[in-house]
A and B are shown apart, each in its own frame.
Chain A
Amino acid sequence: MKYAIAIILVAVTAGLMVVGLFVTAQAGGTIGIAKGSALHTAKASTPDQALNNLLADVQRRNWDRAFANVVSTGGITEPAFIQDWIGSNGSVRSFSSLEGFEVRPLHETNDEAQMRVHLHFSSPVGPIEDVRDFHLVREGDLWKAVWPKVEIPSVPAQVIPVTYLRWDLVTGSAGDEWGAKNVDSPHVRIISMNAVDSAQGSVVMGEVTNEDTVPAFVTVNATLVDGAGNAIDEESSFDKIAHVLLPKQVTPYRIDFPNLSLKNVKNVHMDVKATLVPASADPVIGVMNQKIETDSQGKSVLHGDLLNQSGETVNIPHVIVSFYDNSGKVVWVSDGYVDRALLPQSTEAFAVEIPKSLAPSIHNFHVVVNQYSLNNS
């Protein structure tokens, strides 16, 4: 009897453990631990399994095993493969973690397959979604992903003359005479405002400019007011604005009111606040080859290339775009973070999505580049 009970308990424990392997592993959320099926298929006999294995290993940062599932056509090395995933130069990608993925087959034969993967990254600036197409081939019984050679951007050694232009702020000491340290706040002005309903709620957007001769730190707040004059909600532009505006610079802003319809809104109170801040006029980032196109998924996307014209690395470029209709009214503001660093004198592509319903009415657009640099933070 004593052995019977002990054996039963051991057997039940083992059985529960086996069942546990097939139930979704509950480690989700802690970075570096995979979600989805807890089991790694040892032998990838289908393209789907092969890609799932590869991405699960990337998720766990098990680089050796991930690279073993890759066929290198262009002679890619493991360090280059790793860098392709984890980024470099303090870019968004280098701070990001692959949280999840969804694999969808596009085309499959006996020896080759084309798969599309939606990749979900977590990053310091919010979730980042990426769509990537993978080509897989069969090698014997195993399927492997073909990895093209990754062009790692490099900057040739050069000397770039810099004429630094920056503003410092000197504040008087507490003992200064009354009125002696009065420096006015910068003059900023909202030059356009538009409120629309969107799928996620109401959106208030427009553009604001610094009319002064000194840099301004700008925040825009909006309050929705109902018919009785009561405030319904108050939100701010948060990261959908370039907060530091140099003299005569214009930035789009967008303020989201999630789950709130404009039906009950009678009025919108706008409040723009500007303060003096130390600032730098560098780096200068050009936006080249801007074009609205339709991507492979049928979405309207504004494409372009950022060109860093300065001698310092921009670690995280942030693109904010205002879209105008025929009459020059701002009809939408979109933004996006570029997940690779912008090296000195080099370019990096960006893409910003436009809502499908608005795409036909867009006549023009204005791109502003905001940036974060480790050296200047």
Chain B
Amino acid sequence: MTTAAENPYSRPIPLLAIVLVALAVHGPLLLMELPSSSFDANFHMFFASHYAHHWFNPWNEKWFAGFSQTTYPPLTHQWIALISNLVGLKMAYMLVQLIAILLLPVGVYRFAKIWVDDRAASYAALGVVFLGSLTFLVYQAGQLATVASAALYLNALPYLYQWMTESSGRSLVKGLAVTLSAAAAHHVTLIFGVVFFAGPVLWTAILDARDERVAASTSGVLLRAAVFGLLSIVGVAIVLLPYWLALIQHPIHQIPIPHDSRANFLLNSITAINYFVIPYGALIIALPFILVRGASCPRWRPLLYGFWLALIFGLGGTTPLPRWLLGRAYEVLTFERFTFWATLLAMPLVGILAIDLLDRFRAKAAVGLALAAVATIGGALFWLNANPFRPTATAKVEPVDAFLNRDGHDAYRYITLGFASELAKVSTYTDAGSVDGDYNSARLLPEMTNYGSAQLTNAKFYGTAGMSALRAMLEHANRYGLKFIFVHDPYYEPLLTFAGWRKIETFNNGDVTAWAKDDVPPAHRIASDAIPPAWQGLMWGILPIGVSFVAIFLSLFMRDTRRVPVGIPLRSETREHHIVA
């Protein structure tokens, strides 16, 4: 056995050091507000802005002529809203995103320790800081909630394992609190996490009980898993009750909206780069090792199967499996998040690869791994500008907001055309309402749900479906008080001209034009059965943020019990000498 003196890489990296590395890598990028031009950042800030002004009223009149924000779990948005009172909306978003990123290596470290020792877990945690998929989600997709929820969920699962194998009441309480926080951040992560993350954990606990690596019996593990699952279901049902009620009242019946993550990557090289090469980065080289090593030890196989399933789902339409398994949900989901989860599930095995290489090649391996990590995150950052599908935040929205906020223009509704994700930015800073919006699941207006297209502002990218939705909405302009249209793409001008809109103003030297229709009456409130009652607003404003406070309190003031399960093989079953005592 090598000693620390002989091999400087033989000790685990302290978790604090890993968190500081994450802070050093992502802190400056977030301070530079790099994610502000990502696809979803403006959407999150828009939601947060509403909470900042109407904490207990989730009914938001600014999109879709009125929609309920109970259709999206609120935790990250409410945290942004809280912090925005101190540092402003945009910086609050960056801070919440930073917290999610810092929680992620902690979660991966704790999650990995279910299968591997401290040393491998620490390398897994360090590796996650440089993940291409993380960079992709944070800086290109802007999926704050997915990252935050995954980080919380990874932190919750070790408590589940401890509760199942050690009957630790503290673990049960803390696990539940963090699980509910994860659900309050992003429901989809929690639902699929049961299969991809909790499934391998449960399976592993059963194996450990069967092989007597833990004190619990198999039936005990199953019983406690059922208790945890039941309490989680009840908890999530209560914490997100307004969400479930909204979903039951208005199930998502809209025509499926195309998304590139559902494409066949073999037929489109750009899509393959965007959704496979960039998120995986250097992990692609490690794939054979992950498969072979993951299969080599029965205890790691649940993790391997979870990784493989997430990998297949992350390939979108490249294979038919997601469509077969998900049915109609396939058309509603986007699949880049599965790639993110696959990389997270791979990290414990990558940690083993790292220590294998370090043990064998030492400094050379360290340099190689460092280069691979930097190349992965660097490639993903480079792709932000090289990607032909990158968000093009070129429309300056300030004059649009100024126009809407003067001379009573906010008495009418508006839409933007060609503004991409800047639509949410326009909406955030004006009181005027729009019939468009950047959140597909909340749409109830038939003009939008009857066609297979997403935002009206991006209508042309959805071809006939998109333009038909736009036409349908323009035909009913008088009904919705839709008077003003802001155009950042001349593609739409012929339709507006023929449909009776006239250009009335230009902004930014003609980069954006304002169009109006003279006979449109002022907007009136559109009757909806989706308006949440006051008690739901109260619940929504208290419970999700409340469970996060409870989780923070418990994490700070309730000490963990034993942290590492005993008798866990670090290497494959054929190399018994590496078992941790």
Contact = CB atoms under 8 A, between A and B. Distances in A.
Contact of B491 (A26, A27, A95): A95
Interface stretch (A121-129, A133-141, A143-151, A358-366): A121-129
A92 B494 contact: yes
Interface in B142-188: none
A19 B319 contact: yes
A63 interface: no
B321 A16 contact: yes
Contacts of A3: 292, 295
A269 to B, nearest CB: 14
B319 A13 contact: yes
A20 B264 contact: yes
Interface stretch (B37-45, B72-80, B468-476): B468-476
B495 interface: yes
Nearest to B462: A29
Interface stretch (A107-115, A187-195, A231-239, A284-292): A231-239
B289 to A, nearest CB: 10
Nearest to A271: B519
B110 interface: no
A72 interface: no
B516 to A, nearest CB: 11
A123 B467 contact: yes
B317 interface: yes
A275 B519 contact: yes
A120 B519 CA distance: 34
A370 B498 contact: yes
B291 A9 contact: yes
Interface stretch (B55-63, B132-140, B196-204, B255-263): B255-263
B492 interface: yes
Given A20-B264, A28-B258, A273 B518 contact: yes
B260 A99 contact: no
A77 to B, nearest CB: 28
B261 to A, nearest CB: 10
Contact of A124 (B453, B477, B494): B494
Contact of B478 (A2, A29, A236, A372): A236
Interface in B287-344: 288, 291-297, 301, 304, 308, 311-312, 315-321, 323
A222 B461 CA distance: 32
B527 interface: no
B260 A27 contact: yes
Contacts of B498: 125, 239, 243, 318, 370, 372
B464 A20 contact: no
A76 B462 CA distance: 33
B268 interface: yes
A260 to B, nearest CB: 14
Given A6-B295, A221-B478, A238-B474, A25 B467 contact: no
B266 interface: yes
A16 B264 contact: no
A9 B308 contact: yes
Given A16-B320, A370-B498, A273 B312 contact: no
A16 B463 CA distance: 29
Contacts of B468: 126-127
A38 B494 contact: no
B462 A30 contact: yes
A351 B222 CA distance: 72
A377 B258 contact: no
Contacts of A92: 494
Contacts of A27: 258, 260, 262-264, 267-268, 271, 317
Interface string A75-95: 000000000000000001001
A252 to B, nearest CB: 14
B475 A97 contact: no
B264 A38 contact: yes
A273 B519 contact: yes
A124 B319 contact: no
Contacts of B409: none
Contacts of A106: none
B263 A236 contact: no
Nearest to B519: A273
A295 B410 CA distance: 51
B493 A29 contact: no
B491 A124 contact: yes
A238 B475 CA distance: 6
Nearest to B321: A16
A377 B501 CA distance: 11
A30 B464 CA distance: 10
Nearest to B287: A10
A31 B467 CA distance: 12
A31 B461 contact: yes
A217 interface: yes
Interface in B105-153: none
A236 B475 contact: yes
A3 B419 CA distance: 51
A103 interface: no
Contact of B471 (A1, A21, A126, A315): A126
A219 B498 CA distance: 11
A238 B500 contact: yes
Given A124-B491, A316-B494, A2 B292 contact: yes
B364 interface: no
A122 B312 CA distance: 33
A33 B268 contact: yes
B497 interface: yes
Given A20-B318, A243-B500, A29 B465 contact: yes
Contact of A125 (B262, B475, B495): B495
Interface in A217-231: 217, 219, 221
Contacts of B320: 16, 19-20, 23
B268 A6 contact: no
Interface in A267-296: 273, 275, 277
Which residue, of B257, B315, B495, has the highest number of chain A Cβ atoms within 10 A? B495
B502 interface: yes
Contacts of B499: 238-239
Contacts of A235: 475
A2 B296 contact: yes
A239 B495 contact: yes
Given A20-B317, A27-B268, A124 B263 contact: no
Q: Which of A28, A97, A241, A316 has the most CB of B within 10 A?
A: A28
Interface string A235-250: 1101101010000000
A95 B464 CA distance: 12
A74 to B, nearest CB: 32
Contact of A377 (B260, B461, B493, B517): B493
Contacts of A131: none
Contacts of B495: 124-126, 239
Interface string A1-45: 111111001100100110111010111111101000010000000
Given A26-B316, A127-B464, 12 more contacts: A2-B292, A4-B295, A13-B311, A17-B266, A27-B262, A29-B461, A122-B464, A125-B494, A238-B499, A273-B519, A277-B502, A377-B503
Q: Which 10 pairs between the two chains have the least Cβ-Cβ distance?
A: A29-B258, A16-B319, A5-B295, A2-B296, A122-B463, A6-B291, A27-B263, A26-B317, A239-B498, A122-B464
Interface of B: 257-258, 260, 262-264, 266-268, 271, 288, 291-297, 301, 304, 308, 311-312, 315-321, 323, 452-453, 460-468, 471, 474-475, 477-479, 490-495, 497-500, 502-503, 517-519, 572
Interface of A: 1-6, 9-10, 13, 16-17, 19-21, 23, 25-31, 33, 38, 92, 95, 97, 99, 120, 122-127, 217, 219, 221, 234-236, 238-239, 241, 243, 273, 275, 277, 315-316, 318, 370, 372, 374, 377
24 contacts: A2-B295, A2-B297, A10-B291, A13-B311, A16-B320, A20-B319, A23-B320, A25-B263, A27-B260, A27-B271, A29-B461, A29-B462, A30-B263, A30-B462, A31-B460, A122-B464, A122-B467, A123-B467, A126-B467, A221-B519, A238-B474, A275-B519, A316-B494, A377-B497
